[in-house]
Copies of this chain bind each other. A is one copy, B any other.
Amino acid sequence: MPQDRLSTTFAALADPTRRAILARLTAGETSVTELAEPFAMSLPAISKHLKVLERAGLIARGREAQWRPCRLEAEPLKDATQWLERYRAYWERSFDRLDRYLQRVQAQAADGKTKSRVSAARKDSAKRRKQ
């Protein structure tokens, strides 16, 4: 089991339902019943996901006896983003490398068919880099 905070954050994010719950909570705090609605899941299954998010400090729950609204606590996501940001130069570099490679292939390409395929790939690479 991961113990450090960054591992706990990433583990909590490694599930599409939990990410969908966080996305839902950007619209404001809500009850567990409301949260469960869009998912084909039992309340206990949703509760289990909420416990993982709560332990990771990504949500907080109200203390009202009957209705314990969940709200987003985004701060751990800041630390996760800071960790990831250190790698920005590397993913940008890999796109540059791909682009240079495609330029070289294009320059060498003799027939028009190869050229149009390469040109489409370069456009795609440029588009992905802009995202």
A86 to B24, CA, bound (A): 12
A103 to B56, CA, bound (A): 28
**Using a Cβ–Cβ cut-off of 8 Å, how many residues does chain A contribute to the interface with B?**
35
Interface flags, A64-76, vs B, CB<8A=1, else 0: 0000000011110
Q: Which of B16, B23, B81, B85 contacts A2 (CB 8 A)?
A: B16
Q: Is A13 an interface residue (CB 8 A)?
A: yes
Residues of chain B within 8 A of A22, CB atoms compared: 87
A residues whose Cβ falls under 8 Å from a Cβ of B: 2, 4, 6-8, 10-11, 13-16, 19, 22-23, 26, 72-75, 77-78, 80-88, 90-91, 93-94, 131
